[in-house]
Amino acid sequence: MQIEAGQKAPVFELFDTEKNKVSLLDQKGKNVVLLFFPLAFTSVCTAELCSVRDNITAYNNANAQVFGISVDSVFTLDKFKKEQQLNFPLLSDFNKQASKSYNVLYDIFPALEMQGVSKRAAFVIDKEGIVRYAEVCATPGEQPDFDAIRQTLATLN
């Protein structure tokens, strides 16, 4: 089922690059931006996450916690985060729990015919755990509409 604005956000627990368990329930009281991305070290994913890195002040000013989520291992994500100097947490959905909950899992990833890769998608969740913005990109080469994400965050404060 497609996740849409107005729905309760599916909860999850995933490990970050520091091997800490992160729960969406623990974020209550903050706005949250979830950015699902296919694979670390790929060109579009790198550009997307570096764009967020370079504009993190806008998210911080909106009282928003950004999380990048992919099916890569915590070890791969740790190396990626360090190399790109990302200033927000990356979460490993290695078991595909969150990607399935948010219905953003490719049956077959188009570029390399891999199974079980996350689609590029963005969700804004308000302080009460309600989805206020939902976007699943049509192709892995497309990036989320960051202007729409920031506009949504502006309405939540």
Give the DSSP letter of residue 27.
Answer: G
Euclidean distance between the first and the last CA atom of the chain, given in angstroms as a whole number: 29
> Among the options 45, 98, 125, 149, which is catalytic?
45
Q: Alpha-carbon distance 145 to 66, whole Å? A: 15
Helix axes 43-54, 74-84, angle to 10 degrees: 60
45 is an active site residue: yes
Distance of CA 122 to the CA centre of its chain: 6
**Which residues are catalytically annotated?**
45
